[in-house]
Chain A
Amino acid sequence: MPLQTGYTVAIAQTALALLLAPGLVGLIRWLKARLQNRRGAPVWQPYLELRKLFAKEVVVSSNASWLFRTAPFVVFASTVAVAFLVPVLAAPLPFDSVGDLLVVVYLLLLGTFFLALAGLDPGSAFGGMGSSREMTVAALSEPTVALAIFALALGAGSTNLGQIVARTMADPAAAVSPGYLLAFGALFVVTLAENGRLPVDNPATHLELTMIHEAMILEYSGRYLALIEWAAWLKVLLFFSLLGNLFVPWGVATVLTWAALGWALATLVAKLVVLAVVLAVFETRVAKLRLFRVPELLAVSFVLAVLAITVSFLVR
């Protein structure tokens, strides 16, 4: 596809992801509220939150350093960089040769790293607790992610996102192969862990016993908090896009025509809604795990990834 339009589509797809992310989280919250017999805030509530936060004054702790002030920008920049790499609408795009699935995972780790440091900067106990727990969960989900990537790459022959998508589209039977399904299960658990959803972390409460992500960003306010929250919502959307477009890639545009892109947009929205419903139902169903039960959940996802590899790797 011509390079110029490829770049335009990449930028457009990132902007689209940024615009849709608060709506997605708003949808999840609204669904959970309805499932819990509440009315719930409207789906566009997160947009209003962002607008409010960007207009507010920032209060910075006197103990904090320049790291506290730059961390929101680093987190946002790294998540937006990932948005350029993930096949949200079309694949392969020009940025496909810049980063593959491993780059995506480690760019997200970059954001987590700086956020954890920013939690320690103001010198409060909550921040330390959040940082410590967040890094523990992130470190323990790494092997699962690596093995899931391995399982996907085995089929496609490369860790390149474009090639993985292309391979599944070329061979539809692979999409329901047990290897892929197991890898999907493993990545779904990792999505819960990395995005701080139940049962790993509760994004709705601010109680110290249940916080991981919220504890790290407790000292943030104003536009910094807006950037961090938006980056977190964008991360949810990107994970959903990965789950949807890597495992069920039909709808992803392979040519850059208006028709293909429109269809890609429609299927993307459909996949996001489906995954949002699944997540909302799941979160309503389970209770939050104690911190020391989370490694057991992550071990389950690890075993799923091991099974995915053995099923696809050793029987060929």
Chain B
Amino acid sequence: MSSGVLAVSMIAGYLGGALVACMFSRGRLVRWLTAAGALVGGASALALAGAELTGRSSGNLHVLGYLARPDLGGPQQYVQVLHIVDPLAAVFLAVVGALAIPAALYSVGYTRAWEGRRSLRMPGAMLNLFLLSMSLVPLAGSIFWFVLFWEGMAISSYLLVMTEADEPETVSAGNWYLGMTQFGLGFILAAFFLLLPPDGSGDFTALAKHAATLSPGLKSLVFVLALIGFGAKAGLVPLHVWLPSAHPAAPSHVSALMSGVMIKLGVYGVLLFGLRLLGGGPAWWGGLVLTLGAVSALLGVLYALMEHDLKRLLAYHSIENIGIIFIGVGAGMMFLSYGLPELAVLGFVGGLYHTINHACFKGLLFLGAGSVLHATHTRSMEEMGGLIKRMPRTALFFLVGAAAISALPPLNGFVSEWVVFQALLGGASIPKREVAVLMPVAVAMLALASGLAAACFVKAFGITFLGIARSHEAEQAHEAPASMQVAMAALALACVVLGAAAYAMVPALGRAVAGLGGLPPASAVTVSWRLSVPLSAPGAVGQISPLSILLGLVILLAAIPMALWLFRASRALRVSDTWGCGRIAQTPRMQYTATAFAEPLRRIFAALYRPTEDVSVDFHPESRYFVQSIAYRAHIVPWFERYLYDPVIDRVIAWAARVRAIQSGSLHAYLTYLVGALVIMLGLLMLWGR
């Protein structure tokens, strides 16, 4: 299929799904058709990206160009609109398409719960429009279209977040989200406008040409503005505060898309500016990105540890993984500026690979959390437990996702973190030693973040699924509908495959970044059944084979029971009560809670958390020797919200209150403003005309 046909089918699929949702607002067929539209769109997007990455695409998408600007006529109309500009954009398009398929499938089962309570019009239409705008952002070739689709993405996701607007925290989450999006957009627009060439053409190639003529100071300003703007979208610390409220508030498949795909478009933006438009820069750019990434990784996981709301926990982990992606990207930029192209490719490949992998396992985890929410109607882990027996398949898929995000071999999370580690190891080659010191620091922070992530997911999986049910809803939980299970199964399989297929992924990603910003055209990574990456010392190679590890573990797991049988070990098994050191009764209250599990870490990192505890004891009315109930509440200080955002917001509100004085409500006053403005404008025109 030619690229043009695929592109048309993608857009048609999304628009068709949106149309169906708009016209009808309820019914099983509508849910399926809406999802089918998204599915078709996603599959086309994936195919389009795949064609580009494997070199079989047919170049520009002339059809769209003609449809968009027929008035221009001639060859100009094709230049300005949509075309896959480079394989880097194809990678992000592939991520969108790949995650759209399971999310759409999942939505069929998930939205069934809304039947009769909510109209499907808005969520269904907005889902498709969200996917459409996210697919078109990487394809945009000029400022106008980029910003158009970017804003489309923001607005459609805002409306999706507000789907369940009957809860007060959703409204607040939506406000934060919208505010931060517009804040970021301001910076992005500023960065774009600084790059505008004198003739006003917004095309990216023209921007890149003009950027080459700018002074280094101006280029750095543009990069910093872009980093702030796109960092706000990606969720880099300290611009991350909207993420933990907005992602959980949205319906689960939307959360999966937002965490898995939308924040990656922030990464795309930084790469767009850093590599394509500005063509690489001084080392401090990469150092800044690396530092912000490392800090985000650590802070994200530290705050995730303290959460017992399952979806907020996952949202904080998204911040952590964005941090890891930016560590890879930052390292790549630093190596590029020091003239170490092979190591730079390694850094970028690590970042991109982790982008794909994170989309995979974070999408899976959010869908799993959605299934749990669907079954138990609560997001708090403290009320769950024992779900593995009620929802065995969801538990299995969630376990795969948890193992992947904890970077356990041979799954995909481990492989991409390994690549990032190898890139950081190359820091020994950086000539300037003050800068090279950053690399071991980043290694230590990355290792700590990944260890803490493993601890956090033992908590998340263990408290939610294992043990005994802690509430009535958890006891009555039912397995998720088939469509949701299939979606999760597909993602779980992808996690395994993406890890084992590392030997193919890494060279493909190396080709994707080739040629950008001065990177070598051909990747130096060899292709064989194992993954080999060249390192800094001559002839030294880092090698692992995730496929072999997977096979080896499977063989061993099969061989051990066989060996036991061969050596005639006892096969007797008896089911009885939990021993618990000889205790007789076992109630759900005796288990560890999520707060209890994280308590040692809360104490160890008390300098960061500043935890306060609140214990209230209710005594029996008859006697103080008997206790009726004890309530324990632990709070941590939200540093960024309290000390960074609240003062700024307060100042803005105070300022706005003062400006509000002009809204007196009197008609005469407003008319006076109008006439006054008119007079002033006429006066200015007369002055300038002179």
Query: Given A117-B461, A120-B462, A131-B597, does the pair A97, B574 have CB atoms closer than 8 Å?
Result: no
Whether the Cβ atoms of A147 and B440 lie closer than 8 Å is yes
Partner-binding segment picked from B104-112, B406-414, B671-679: B406-414
Whether the Cβ atoms of B581 and A218 lie closer than 8 Å is yes
- A209 in the interface (beta carbon within 8 A): no
- B604 in the interface (beta carbon within 8 A): yes
Whether the Cβ atoms of B462 and A100 lie closer than 8 Å is no
Kindly list chain B residues whose C-beta atoms are within 8 Å of the C-beta of A135: 454-455, 458-459
Kindly list chain A residues whose C-beta atoms are within 8 Å of the C-beta of B631: none
- A256 in the interface (beta carbon within 8 A): no
Kindly list chain A residues whose C-beta atoms are within 8 Å of the C-beta of B386: 63, 123
Query: Given A97-B545, A100-B544, does the pair A143, B577 have CB atoms closer than 8 Å?
Result: no
- A262 in the interface (beta carbon within 8 A): no
Within 8 A of B (CB), among A120-146: 120-129, 131-133, 135-136, 138-143, 145-146
Within 8 A of A (CB), among B453-473: 454-455, 457-459, 461-463, 466-468
Query: Given A124-B591, A138-B451, A143-B451, does the pair A74, B557 have CB atoms closer than 8 Å?
Result: yes
Kindly list chain B residues whose C-beta atoms are within 8 Å of the C-beta of A309: 440
Query: Given A77-B556, A98-B545, A132-B596, does the pair A159, B425 have CB atoms closer than 8 Å?
Result: yes
Kindly list chain B residues whose C-beta atoms are within 8 Å of the C-beta of A158: 535, 537, 540-542
Kindly list chain A residues whose C-beta atoms are within 8 Å of the C-beta of B596: 128, 132
Query: Given A98-B548, A117-B458, A139-B452, does the pair A55, B569 have CB atoms closer than 8 Å?
Result: yes
- A56 in the interface (beta carbon within 8 A): yes
- A154 in the interface (beta carbon within 8 A): yes
Partner-binding segment picked from A101-109, A176-184, A243-251: A101-109
Kindly list chain B residues whose C-beta atoms are within 8 Å of the C-beta of A133: 600
Q: Which residue of B lies closest to A314 (CB)?
A: B433
Whether the Cβ atoms of A58 and B428 lie closer than 8 Å is no
Partner-binding segment picked from B179-187, B356-364, B508-516, B559-567: B559-567
Give CA–CA (A227, B548) in the complex, Å. 23
Whether the Cβ atoms of A73 and B561 lie closer than 8 Å is yes
Q: Kindly identify which residue among A60, A98, A156, A302 contacts B552, using a CB–CB cutoff of 8 Å.
A: A98
Whether the Cβ atoms of A313 and B545 lie closer than 8 Å is no
Give CA–CA (A56, B552) in the complex, Å. 29
Whether the Cβ atoms of A113 and B403 lie closer than 8 Å is yes
Interface string of A56-68 (1 = CB under 8 A from B): 1111111111110
- B77 in the interface (beta carbon within 8 A): no
Q: Which residue of A lies closest to B569 (CB)?
A: A54
- B573 in the interface (beta carbon within 8 A): yes
Query: Given A120-B466, A142-B447, A158-B535, does the pair A126, B580 have CB atoms closer than 8 Å?
Result: yes
Q: Which residue of A lies closest to B554 (CB)?
A: A77
Number of A-B contacts (CB under 8 A): 269
Interface size on A, residues (CB 8 A): 86
Q: Which residue of A lies closest to B576 (CB)?
A: A59
Whether the Cβ atoms of A128 and B592 lie closer than 8 Å is yes
Kindly list chain A residues whose C-beta atoms are within 8 Å of the C-beta of B450: 142
Interface string of B385-428 (1 = CB under 8 A from A): 11011001001000100010011110000100010011001001
Kindly list chain A residues whose C-beta atoms are within 8 Å of the C-beta of B570: 54-58, 222-223
Q: Which residue of A lies closest to B561 (CB)?
A: A73
Whether the Cβ atoms of A145 and B447 lie closer than 8 Å is yes
Kindly list chain B residues whose C-beta atoms are within 8 Å of the C-beta of A95: 548
- B444 in the interface (beta carbon within 8 A): yes
Kindly list chain B residues whose C-beta atoms are within 8 Å of the C-beta of A255: none
Closest chain A CB from B668 CB (angstroms)? 67
Closest chain A CB from B546 CB (angstroms)? 9
Kindly list chain B residues whose C-beta atoms are within 8 Å of the C-beta of A62: 575-578
Query: Given A120-B458, A121-B467, A314-B437, does the pair A163, B540 have CB atoms closer than 8 Å?
Result: yes
Give CA–CA (A64, B436) in the complex, Å. 49
Q: Which residue of A lies closest to B545 (CB)?
A: A98
Whether the Cβ atoms of B543 and A58 lie closer than 8 Å is no
Interface string of B239-268 (1 = CB under 8 A from A): 000000000000000000000000000000
Whether the Cβ atoms of A73 and B451 lie closer than 8 Å is no
Whether the Cβ atoms of A142 and B448 lie closer than 8 Å is yes
Interface string of B510-552 (1 = CB under 8 A from A): 0000000000000000000010100111001111110011001
Whether the Cβ atoms of A106 and B414 lie closer than 8 Å is yes
- B630 in the interface (beta carbon within 8 A): no
Kindly list chain B residues whose C-beta atoms are within 8 Å of the C-beta of A99: 409, 544-545, 549
- A219 in the interface (beta carbon within 8 A): yes
Closest chain A CB from B500 CB (angstroms)? 12
Kindly list chain A residues whose C-beta atoms are within 8 Å of the C-beta of B577: 61-62
- A273 in the interface (beta carbon within 8 A): no
Q: Which residue of B lies closest to A68 (CB)?
A: B466
Kindly list chain B residues whose C-beta atoms are within 8 Å of the C-beta of A89: none
Kindly list chain B residues whose C-beta atoms are within 8 Å of the C-beta of A156: 540
Kindly list chain A residues whose C-beta atoms are within 8 Å of the C-beta of B468: 63, 123
Q: Which residue of A lies closest to B413 (CB)?
A: A106
Within 8 A of B (CB), among A267-283: none
Kindly list chain B residues whose C-beta atoms are within 8 Å of the C-beta of A64: 578
Whether the Cβ atoms of A157 and B576 lie closer than 8 Å is no
Residue from A145, A156, A158, A160 whose CB has the most chain B CB atoms within 10 Å: A158
Whether the Cβ atoms of A128 and B451 lie closer than 8 Å is no
Q: Kindly identify which residue among A57, A102, A107, A295 contacts B574, using a CB–CB cutoff of 8 Å.
A: A57
Q: Kindly identify which residue among B406, B578, B581 contacts A113, using a CB–CB cutoff of 8 Å.
A: B406
Kindly list chain B residues whose C-beta atoms are within 8 Å of the C-beta of A128: 591-592, 596-597
Residue from A78, A109, A120, A218 whose CB has the most chain B CB atoms within 10 Å: A120
Q: Kindly identify which residue among A63, A100, A223 contacts B542, using a CB–CB cutoff of 8 Å.
A: A100
Q: Kindly identify which residue among A97, A121, A147, A222 contacts B530, using a CB–CB cutoff of 8 Å.
A: A97
Whether the Cβ atoms of A160 and B569 lie closer than 8 Å is no
Closest chain B CB from A36 CB (angstroms)? 26
Query: Given A97-B543, A135-B455, A139-B452, does the pair A125, B600 have CB atoms closer than 8 Å?
Result: no
Kindly list chain A residues whose C-beta atoms are within 8 Å of the C-beta of B532: 97
Kindly list chain A residues whose C-beta atoms are within 8 Å of the C-beta of B536: 157
- B647 in the interface (beta carbon within 8 A): no
Give CA–CA (A96, B553) in the complex, Å. 16
- A240 in the interface (beta carbon within 8 A): no
Whether the Cβ atoms of A227 and B447 lie closer than 8 Å is no
Query: Given A63-B468, A81-B549, A139-B451, does the pair A150, B425 have CB atoms closer than 8 Å?
Result: yes
Kindly list chain B residues whose C-beta atoms are within 8 Å of the C-beta of A54: 564, 567, 569-570
Give CA–CA (A57, B570) in the complex, Å. 7
- A27 in the interface (beta carbon within 8 A): no
- A258 in the interface (beta carbon within 8 A): no
Residue from B422, B543, B553, B601 whose CB has the most chain A CB atoms within 10 Å: B543
- B611 in the interface (beta carbon within 8 A): no
Interface string of A24-68 (1 = CB under 8 A from B): 000000000000000000000000000000111111111111110
Whether the Cβ atoms of A132 and B600 lie closer than 8 Å is yes
Q: Kindly identify which residue among B422, B578, B603 contacts A292, using a CB–CB cutoff of 8 Å.
A: B603
Q: Which residue of A lies closest to B532 (CB)?
A: A97
Give CA–CA (A139, B298) in the complex, Å. 12
- A76 in the interface (beta carbon within 8 A): yes
Whether the Cβ atoms of B578 and A219 lie closer than 8 Å is yes
Whether the Cβ atoms of A223 and B578 lie closer than 8 Å is no
Q: Kindly identify which residue among B437, B466, B537 contacts A67, using a CB–CB cutoff of 8 Å.
A: B466
Whether the Cβ atoms of A77 and B569 lie closer than 8 Å is no
Q: Which residue of A lies closest to B589 (CB)?
A: A125
Whether the Cβ atoms of A131 and B552 lie closer than 8 Å is no
- A300 in the interface (beta carbon within 8 A): no
Whether the Cβ atoms of B544 and A140 lie closer than 8 Å is no
Query: In the complex, given contacts A120-B462, A135-B458, A222-B572, what are 13 additional A-B residue pairs having Cβ atoms less than 8 angstroms apart?
Result: A61-B576, A63-B578, A66-B388, A97-B530, A98-B545, A103-B409, A109-B454, A113-B454, A117-B458, A129-B592, A133-B600, A142-B450, A143-B448
Task: Give me 22 A-to-B residue pairs in the complex whose CB atoms sit less than 8 angstroms apart, sorted by A's number.
Answer: A57-B574, A59-B574, A63-B586, A66-B388, A66-B392, A67-B399, A98-B544, A98-B549, A99-B409, A103-B549, A109-B407, A123-B586, A125-B590, A132-B459, A135-B458, A135-B459, A139-B452, A140-B604, A143-B444, A156-B540, A159-B425, A292-B600
The 3 closest A-B pairs by CB, nearest first: A128-B592, A157-B537, A142-B451
